[in-house]
Amino acid sequence: MPDHPVGISDIALYVPSPYITLQTLLNMRIRENPSLERRLNRAVETTGQEAMRFPELWQDNTTLAAEAAHRLVERSYRDDLASLRYIAVGTETGVDHSKPVAAYVEGMLQRAGVGIPDSLSTFQVQHACAGGTVSILGVAAMLSMSSRETDSGLVICSDIARYDVPSTAEITQGAGAVALKVAQNPSLMSVDVGTAGYCSRDVDDFFRPLGSTTAKVKGGYSVQCYHEALDSAFADHCARRNEDPLDVLNSTDVFVTHIPFYRMGITAMHNLLGKHLPGGEADAEPFLLARGFYDGIAPARQIGNIYSGSAYMALAFSLQERYRKLGPDIVGKKVLVASYGSGNTMIVYSATIAENAPAVIESWDLDEVLAGGIPASLETYQAWVGGPYSRDTYAGMMADVDVPQSRHYLASVREDGYREYEYS
């Protein structure tokens, strides 16, 4: 069996352009129902959110995944597409009960002129917000057994977070996709698949029933489940490393968590660190400040929850922040990723930043992604939360829309329900 490090070689982030500030949203909801004012203001304060991105009319979760994948392939594969063996999508926003988003993405890229080979496997993984992490570890494990050192996988973490409106959960919506190149001898960071820590339990903290566009969430209970699962999965990870929890924490330079909303990541890390640092929770803030944790999760305040991609959006911004701080000394630094999926599961794994990471990070355009938001009208936002629409209504709405150049979009829905995508 080949004995090469395996992990992540590159990351590309895509978020749709339309955004709405929470102040704009709250003003509308409070005008509609003044009795909501106290609850909504408290929800904004509790979550720390400031704005959210949401899709264009012509976008769905599959087009978001294709946009992120297209950006990664153009930058990271170039003439190396023959090495691609897997396209895996981690999502809880599937568009078909049978056909995976990954299969649609393969075809969308091919129709856009990208030379994706047929000699690969496409599949989809679902476990709330942890499907992307399961995909990464699964593809990494399969690549570690490959007979060809050059083989790689394209993993896409793509989702659209939607909740009932109006509600306190409405402010934590969001949309986006993160594409990652998983490979042997990775350029960005090697992943220790063998010491991943797990915790899974059958709970009803969050779910989306069949036929429902919006998720159902028990907010306080889900936070409790997150904390308990993190404690257990971290303990399992430490046991598999045969190391004391404090030693694991002190040796970690970058912490990455699932960020359903900004303050959840902070609360989760303060809770975990408070149980292991000598000074308890009082030591947590300086500990995290020294490791750039807050800068890494700050973009989530503006983008919102992107479910399976939220941890990997935080990973990308954290690595960018650390590189700006440390320069080439970032090489060899240790990363700890904690990925939560409601319902529930928690996965904690460690990684080491690779020698070529500086060059990879320098190729990113994360600041441009953040700056690319376009303020949307309340009417545009209401049109989004009012969907999805019947095929005839959608066709009528699209008749008045000009899709920008070089974009993947949902062109139509056939009478039998099949979704047809095109590239502008």
Collect all residues with Cβ–Cβ distance below 8 Å to 390 and sequence separation of at least 6. Answer: none
Q: How many CB atoms lie within 10 A of CB 115?
A: 12
Collect all residues with Cβ–Cβ distance below 8 Å to 77 and sequence separation of at least 6. Answer: 83, 84, 181
pLDDT at 80: 85
Say if residue 79's pLDDT is above 90. no
pLDDT at 2: 53
As a residue count, the chain comes to: 424
The structure's pTM equals 0.97
Give the separation between CA 48 and CA 30, rounded to whole angstroms.
19
Q: Which pLDDT band holds residue 3 (cuts at 50, 70, 90)?
A: confident
Percent of the residues in the chain that have a pLDDT greater than 90, as a whole number: 98
Tokens read off for 54: 């949401």
pLDDT at 136: 99
The DSSP output letter for 342 is: T
Residues 176-194 pLDDT 10s: 999 999 999 999 999 999 9
Give the separation between CA 308 and CA 93, rounded to whole angstroms.
10
Residues 398-409 pLDDT 10s: 999 999 999 999
pLDDT at 394: 97
Residue ranges with strand state E in 232-353: 254-257, 334-341, 345-353
Q: Which pLDDT band holds residue 34 (cuts at 50, 70, 90)?
A: very high
Average pLDDT of the residues in 120-130? 99
Collect all residues with Cβ–Cβ distance below 8 Å to 72 and sequence separation of at least 6. Answer: 10, 11, 12, 154, 179, 180, 181
Residues 331-378 pLDDT 10s: 999 999 999 999 999 999 999 999 999 999 999 999 999 999 999 999
Among residues 320, 302, 300, the alpha carbon closest in space to that of 311 is found at 300
Tokens read off for 61: 């979760």
Residues 226-252 pLDDT 10s: 999 999 999 999 999 999 999 999 999
Residue 371 Cα distances to 12, 54, 83, 330, angstroms: 15, 15, 33, 26
Give the separation between CA 202 and CA 355, rounded to whole angstroms.
41
Domains and CATH numbers, the chain: 6-423 (3.40.47.10)
Average pLDDT of the residues in 61-82? 94
pLDDT at 1: 44
pLDDT at 4: 86
Q: Residue 385: exposed, middle, or buried by beta-carbon count in 10 A (0-12, 13-18, 19+)?
A: middle
Say if residue 146's pLDDT is above 80. yes
